Amino acid sequence: MPRQADPQLEQRILDAACRLWARGGEKALTMRGVAKAAGTTTPTVYERYHDRDDILRSVRLQTRAELLAAVNPTHTFPQACHSYLEFALQHPHAYEVLFDGFAQPPSLHEPWPTFNLLRLNLARRLGGTPRQYTRLMLSLWSLMHGTAMLMIRGRVADPLRAQMFHSCLDAVQAIIADAARSKGKAHSGPKWPAHLILGEAEESKVDHDEDEGSPKRGITKRGNFSKGKSAAGPRSARR
């Protein structure tokens, strides 16, 4: 009889990749190491993923979908922040992979569903369009992400953990309240440029030139990150 496909294999591979990344980062995450940790063979891993970058991309996409599912049921931004931090602390390894090189391809050009959901939440509360609040959303995300990473990397335990968690919630509420009061007032630094787009998949771009009259040196895409996984066989240069 033909061997039955293992429906859990791809998930085991992604879970193994998260564990290896957490233990030793890029050096520890090899295709052979992933295969061993997942209880399968290196050629089998290559049948499902081109290379290590393809595995990391799959981890990011899966984690983004799971983070969105955790945040989506909330009704207010502070509730969303609470769910966001809880998710990060419950899935620390996957969360660390999620934002590694977030402003570089391919991660820059992948969907950021939770970022977009929360930015839409801000637009509904403050008025206007979601893109008007990209800068505000970036500041709030930086606060949430920084808090999450400090607690994860610092192995913070109670009672400090609880204080950091809730101080982040308090700061989020204060920033949003201030934004509601100060609409139309000037902010520090340059105005958010129209050509700097985040969180919108293929539309996202980070240009290095702010002068509209100078040639744009936009980040170009590199590597293979097409939608869906190609069933590529073992490669000669295995990482």
Among 16-20, 85-89, 208-212, whose mean pLDDT is lowest?
Answer: 208-212
165 and 97 in a common domain:
yes
17 and 135 in a common domain:
no
140 and 100 in a common domain:
yes
Q: Is residue 116 in some structural domain?
A: yes
Q: Residue 123 — pLDDT band, cuts 50, 70, 90?
A: very high
- We report the CATH number of the domain holding residue 183 as 1.10.357
122 and 80 in a common domain:
yes
> Residues 203-212: what's their mean pLDDT?
66
Domain that holds residue 130: 60-203
Which pLDDT does position 59 carry in this prediction? Answer: 87
36 and 98 in a common domain:
no
Pairwise CA distance, residues 82 & 96, whole Å: 18
> Residues 142-146: what's their mean pLDDT?
96
Q: Tokens in use for 143?
A: 């606060």
Q: pTM to 2 decimals?
A: 0.77
71 and 161 in a common domain:
yes
Which pLDDT does position 186 carry in this prediction? Answer: 64
Q: Tokens in use for 189?
A: 């630094």
21 and 89 in a common domain:
no
Residue 225 has pLDDT above 80, yes or no: no
Residues 118/77, Cβ–Cβ less than 8 Å: yes
In degrees and rounded to multiples of 5, residue 4 shows phi and psi of: -75, 140
Q: Is residue 176 in some structural domain?
A: yes
Q: Is residue 124 in some structural domain?
A: yes
Residue with the two structure tokens 């959901």: 117
Write down the H helix ranges in 91-197.
Answer: 92-98, 113-126, 134-153, 160-181
99 and 44 in a common domain:
no
Which pLDDT does position 208 carry in this prediction? Answer: 58
Q: Residue 195 — pLDDT band, cuts 50, 70, 90?
A: confident
Tally the domains of the chain.
2
Q: Is residue 55 in some structural domain?
A: no
- We report the CATH number of the domain holding residue 45 as 1.10.10.60
76 and 35 in a common domain:
no
26 and 78 in a common domain:
no
65 and 45 in a common domain:
no
> Residues 183-197: what's their mean pLDDT?
81
